[in-house]
């Protein structure tokens, strides 16, 4: 490892954290796995694997309507996962935590159930330049349906979003402002609290896509002041296919159900259906019960950790990776905002990201290569693709050294 | 799996100095191929003399495998008939996906056989061929921007 001042870094026990993640012991092409693709999906700790396994082996039944023991146990486990999430993000009540498939579904739900009934031709939805496709396309769809207009706040060369630029685009036609908390393609941390305050002052509803933020920083939705906050379980060390829509209760109350079916109703006749109360109004059909339980276990696992130490370690990894990569000749880091979280996007002259990904994989190093579902960001930097190393608290400085060495090896192949 | 087998000298050479690279004007067909997985794009342009590919050029942005494959393809099909080029596509496709595919009589194109050990990269190598197949479809002149590997 390069000589950097770590003496004052908080002592976070990385090796003990790694022991909780069985997959990190894997050997890939004869090399120990260096998993640097956490931005796409994080790995699961034993606590999550065991909770899902225990549920499947001993407690599975359909939830909410059964009087038998298994159904009551499954209901209890599913709902206690919701309670953990209430505390995890500082929601006011369990009415504000809707289980969905992931952040993508959460945003679509808000677009169709909150925005669509409200929008009129000429109204505006404001987003930023650095959004993931999941925070662009649902708004384009609802704009097509209503005649509303999608307005995009600009980004600068460092990948930063500036308050003034966003505020100047908040008009009396803006009905909703939606932005990422952390950019998945660049790592930029947006000044969401101030952006939300600016929107609120103008009576504009706000949605924050927290998919890339939740694993790396404490989230308090009441402190942020947003109306909606969305994230996915699998980036938070939980299972795939489960995620959360947080919504302010007063807004959720007014919104019509998104999907119809079982569990979201109180009474159905062919003449009229009475919808269930929150949060069930938005959870039609049998949900991903084991996924929710796994996500609850992930939250519990994180609650037992030294999270402050973990986040500080991630920050040190980011700083170290930025140093190591910056020293590589002909490597350019894409996204150089002063406030970043836990990922580095980069390109290397003469080595296409796709080739780099293959070569690093031969060294056991997993990185993401491509457009990261943020094609407008790629277009902005006039790139088709970047390579992206994204970190979790279980990554090590040594893995970043290996990344640096792998990049040099790739460069020598194409020299 | 060996990287040396994927990035053979022929591949590296054609990546570094792609042959028949650039715009062909006038062209009887111009088709853009797109690999949405990685964002690679390339355009194949060709000029026909009856059923024969009189000239062919490509341009675009892609990884080493896709660039080298396109470069090798243009060399291989120039002067070939439409039917011969499509038959060659079939053989290259087998080479990329089938472990038992023979590589004899493929000449330099045989250098692509290492790709089959890297399933995530097969589409990189086949993008140009899908694009060519579309460009060869009559009637000419023909212009398209929508051939995708997905």
Give chain B's mean pLDDT: 91
Closest CA–CA distance from residue A384 to any residue of chain B (Å): 5
Our count of domains for chain A comes to: 2
Specify if A294 maps to a domain.
yes
pLDDT at A7: 47
pLDDT exceeds cutoff 60 at A412: yes
A102 and A244, same domain (yes or no): yes
Per residue in A85-131, pLDDT (tens digit) is 999 999 999 999 999 999 999 999 999 999 999 999 999 999 999 99
A129 and A276, same domain (yes or no): yes
Structural domains in chain B plus CATH codes: 3-148 (3.90.1010.10)
In chain A, the percentage of residues whose pLDDT exceeds 70 is 98
pLDDT at B147: 75
What is the complex's ipTM, to 2 decimals?
0.90
Q: How many residues does chain B have?
A: 150
How many contacts, defined by CB atoms under 8 Å, are there between A and B?
48
Selected residues 14-73 of chain B with any CB under 8 Å from a CB in chain A: 15-16, 37-41, 61-65
Q: Which residues of B touch A375 (CB under 8 A)?
A: 39
- Band (pLDDT 50/70/90 cuts) for residue A264 is confident
| DSSP assignments along A343-378, one per residue | EEEEEETTB-HHHHHHHHHHTTEE-EEE-TT-HHHH
Q: Do A384 and B40 touch (CB under 8 A)?
A: yes
Q: Do A355 and B65 touch (CB under 8 A)?
A: yes
Across A225-247, average pLDDT: 98
Nearest CA in chain B to A353: B63
Task: Quote the domain boundaries for residue A184.
Answer: 49-303
User: Token pair of A79, please?
Assistant: 């709902």
pLDDT at A316: 97
Of A6-10, A44-48, B56-60, B70-74, least confident by mean pLDDT is A6-10
A242 and A329, same domain (yes or no): no
Rounded to a whole number, what is the distance in angstroms from the first to the last CA of chain A? 26
pLDDT exceeds cutoff 80 at A1: no
User: Distance between CA A188 and CA A377 in Å, rounded?
Assistant: 12
Q: CB neighbours of A201 closer than 8 A, spacing ≥ 6?
A: none
Across B22-50, average pLDDT: 91
Nearest CA in chain A to B13: A414
A216 and A296, same domain (yes or no): yes
Q: Are B149 and B127 in contact (CB under 8 A)?
A: yes
Nearest CA in chain A to B118: A358
Of A238, A272, A303, at which residue does a domain stop? A303
A186 and A292, same domain (yes or no): yes
Q: Do B121 and A414 touch (CB under 8 A)?
A: no
Catalytic positions of A, please? 373
């Amino acid at each position: 490892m390069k000589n950097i001042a770590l003496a004052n870094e908080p002592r976070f026990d990385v090796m003990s954290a790694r022991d909780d993640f069985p997959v990190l012991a894997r050997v890939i092409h004869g090399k120990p796995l260096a998993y640097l693709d956490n931005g796409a999906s994080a790995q699961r700790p034993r606590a999550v694997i065991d909770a899902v396994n225990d549920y499947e082996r001993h407690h599975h039944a359909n939830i909410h309507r059964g009087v038998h023991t298994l159904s009551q146990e499954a209901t209890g486990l599913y709902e206690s996962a919701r309670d953990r999430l209430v505390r995890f993000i500082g929601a006011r009540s369990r009415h504000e935590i809707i289980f969905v498939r992931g952040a993508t579904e959460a945003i679509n739900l808000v677009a169709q159930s909150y925005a669509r009934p409200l929008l009129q031709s000429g109204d505006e939805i404001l987003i930023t330049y650095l959004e993931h496709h999941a925070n662009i396309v649902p708004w384009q769809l609802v704009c097509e349906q209503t005649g509303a207009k999608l307005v995009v706040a600009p980004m600068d060369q460092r990948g930063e979003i500036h308050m003034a630029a966003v505020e100047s685009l908040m008009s009396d036609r803006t009905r909703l402002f939606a932005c990422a908390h952390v950019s998945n393609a660049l790592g930029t941390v947006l000044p969401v609290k101030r952006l939300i305050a600016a929107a609120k002052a103008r009576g504009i509803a706000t949605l924050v896509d927290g998919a890339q933020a939740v694993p790396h920083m404490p989230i308090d939705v009441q402190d942020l002041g947003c109306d909606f906050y969305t994230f996915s379980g699998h980036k938070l060390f939980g299972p795939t296919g489960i995620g959360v829509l947080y919504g302010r209760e007063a807004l959720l109350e007014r919104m019509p159900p998104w999907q119809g079916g079982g569990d979201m109703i109180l009474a159905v006749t062919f003449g009229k259906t009475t919808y269930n109360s929150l949060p069930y109004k938005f959870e039609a059909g049998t949900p991903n019960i084991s996924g929710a339980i796994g996500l609850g276990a992930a939250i519990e696992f994180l609650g037992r950790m030294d999270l402050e130490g973990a986040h500080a370690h991630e920050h040190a990894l980011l700083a170290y990776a930025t140093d190591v990569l910056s020293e590589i000749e002909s490597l350019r880091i894409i996204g150089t905002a002063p406030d970043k979280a836990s990922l580095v996007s980069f390109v290397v002259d003469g080595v296409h990201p796709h080739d780099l990904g293959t070569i690093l994989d031969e060294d056991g190093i997993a990185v993401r290569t491509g457009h990261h579902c943020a094609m407008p960001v790629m277009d902005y930097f006039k790139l088709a693709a970047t390579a992206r190393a994204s970190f979790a608290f279980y990554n090590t400085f040594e893995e970043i050294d290996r990344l640096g060495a792998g990049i040099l090896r790739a460069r020598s192949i194409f020299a | 799996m060996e990287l040396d087998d994927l990035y053979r000298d022929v591949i590296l050479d054609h990546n570094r100095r792609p042959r028949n690279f650039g715009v062909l004007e006038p062209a009887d067909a111009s088709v853009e191929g797109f690999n949405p997985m990685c964002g690679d794009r390339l355009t194949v342009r060709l000029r026909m003399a009856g059923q024969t590919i009189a000239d062919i050029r490509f341009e675009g942005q892609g990884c080493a495998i896709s660039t080298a494959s396109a470069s090798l393809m243009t060399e291989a099909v120039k002067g070939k008939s439409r039917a011969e080029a499509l038959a060659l596509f079939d053989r290259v496709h087998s080479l990329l996906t089938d472990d038992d595919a023979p590589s004899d009589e493929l000449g330099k194109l045989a250098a692509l056989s290492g790709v089959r050990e890297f399933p995530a990269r097969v589409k990189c190598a086949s993008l140009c061929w899908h694009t060519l197949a579309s460009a060869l479809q009559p009637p000419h002149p023909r212009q398209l921007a929508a051939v995708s590997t997905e």
